[in-house]
Amino acid sequence: MKQKKSKLERELSGTPESVSANLPGKAARPSTASGKENKDIVTISTEVLDGTPRPEDEDADMVDVQDAAAAAKAAPPEVYSREEEIEKLRTSGSMTQNQAEISRVRNLSKIQMGKHEIEPWYFSPYPQEFADCDMVYICEFCLSYFGEVKQFERHRNKCTLLHPPGNEIYRDDYVSFFEIDGRRQRTWCRNLCLLSKLFLDHKTLYYDVDPFLFYCMCTRDEHGCHLVGYFSKEKESAEGYNVACILTLPQYQRKGFGKLLIAFSYELSKRENKLGSPEKPLSDLGLLSYRAYWQETIVDMLMDGRTEANIEDLGMAAAMMTNDVLHTLQNLNMIKTSVSLRCMWHWEKS
């Protein structure tokens, strides 16, 4: 009890609150799959909130957590400039800079994936014993996770997987996309959900991955296909969503991969002859990425004259929901309401 209490006091630097997530009944068994080790280690530093998951039946620890929460709320909020706010958004993944408002506290201190060492941003329901590990080792091909380096090395010697376990549906000189069925590859998709939860604060983790398809983007080299990011979508969405969850891993952010993921999701919607929209609510970084994509797509279409200048035609040409087109035009101040209360776009070339 004292050991856990002292550890909580050392690591706690924010306001822990209750964390709700669907925890698995037991830890996922490592799969026997492959690839070669990359020996160079690149450390990626991110500004995050340190903390420990709250023990369930520890009354003494609960008192310490409540005291720390009260102290964080009583502290004066820090004032950030616009540049500092943008930088913290990029590095922490959340627009919430007030520590008293952060509801999910990370439980893993660091993970190693391929040649990258990454500091997680948020809580993810990995088995409890991994919270005490200094480093969690994740196989970048099968996404199995290990708490000790010897276990990880033993797994790597046996691993035969070199790419996500699905069909390769797109390839160019550098990037490949794989389609994975959650029903056929449950373990791999569950491990992917655990990994993505480390960097998404709004994601609700479901272990029922059967209703989803996962589209994973990878870069290729002589060692195999390295996971860059992914998006998932429901096989049958009543609301017409073409994306349920989307993520670019931190080590590949700010390189244009997020825009490529979004564009690929709309290309799939065009092939299905459907209008698509991401599932709401979006994370802070996701919302910024989608707004930038929508604005660029619509402005390019208007500049090129590829479609008539009305909301319905713009949506059909870009496979975007009418509401997304409307909100984008409003943000660009390109909407003008007539006397008859019909919405028409108004655009003046600068």
pLDDT of residue 78: 57
Local confidence band at 63 (pLDDT 50, 70, 90 cut-offs): very low
- State the average pLDDT for the chain: 76
The pLDDT assigned to 306 comes to 72
* Residue 282's pLDDT band (cuts 50, 70, 90): confident
**Sole residue written with tokens 């909301």:** 311
Banded model confidence at residue 281, pLDDT cuts 50, 70, 90: confident
Residue 138 has pLDDT above 80, yes or no: yes
**Which residues have CB under 8 Å from 128's CB, separation 6+?**
53
* Residue 60 reports pLDDT greater than 60: no
Lowest mean pLDDT among 12-21, 69-78, 201-210, 317-326: 12-21
Give the other-Cβ count within 10 Å of 96's Cβ. Answer: 15
| DSSP for 99-149, written as a single string | GGG-------S-EEETTEEE---S-----GGGGG-S-EEE-TTT--EESSH
Predicted TM-score (pTM) of the model is 0.68
Among 159, 124, 154, 105, CA closest to 27: 124
**Least confident residue range of 125-134, 142-151, 243-252, 302-311:** 302-311
The predicted model gives 314-325 an average pLDDT of 93
Strand order of the β-sheet with 245-248 is 167-171, 175-181, 212-221, 224-234, 245-248
Joined together, the tokens standing for residue 303 give: 């500049």
Number of continuous H segments (helices) and E segments (strands) in the chain: 9, 14
Residue pLDDT, tens place only, 159-185: 999 999 999 999 998 999 999 999 999
Euclidean distance between CA atoms 97 and 88, whole angstroms: 8
State both tokens at 15.
């306001």
Residues 6+ apart with CB under 8 A from 69: 15, 16, 17, 100
Helix crossing, 311-318 with 322-331: angle to 10°? 110
Check whether 88 has a pLDDT greater than 90.
no
pLDDT tens column, 320-330: 999 999 999 99
Nearest to 282 by CA among 248, 249, 331, 245: 245
The catalytic residue positions are 279
Regarding beta strands 111-113 and 136-138, do their DSSP bridges make them parallel or antiparallel, or are they unpaired? parallel
CB-CB contact of 225 with 162 (8 Å): yes
* Residue 104 reports pLDDT greater than 80: no
Give the pLDDT confidence score for residue 10 in this predicted structure: 44
pLDDT value at residue 56: 41
For residue 198, pLDDT over 70 is answered with yes
Mean pLDDT, range 200-204, rounded to an integer: 74
According to the per-residue pLDDT averaged within each range, which of 68-72, 99-103, 169-173, 336-340 is highest?
169-173
SS3 category, 198: coil
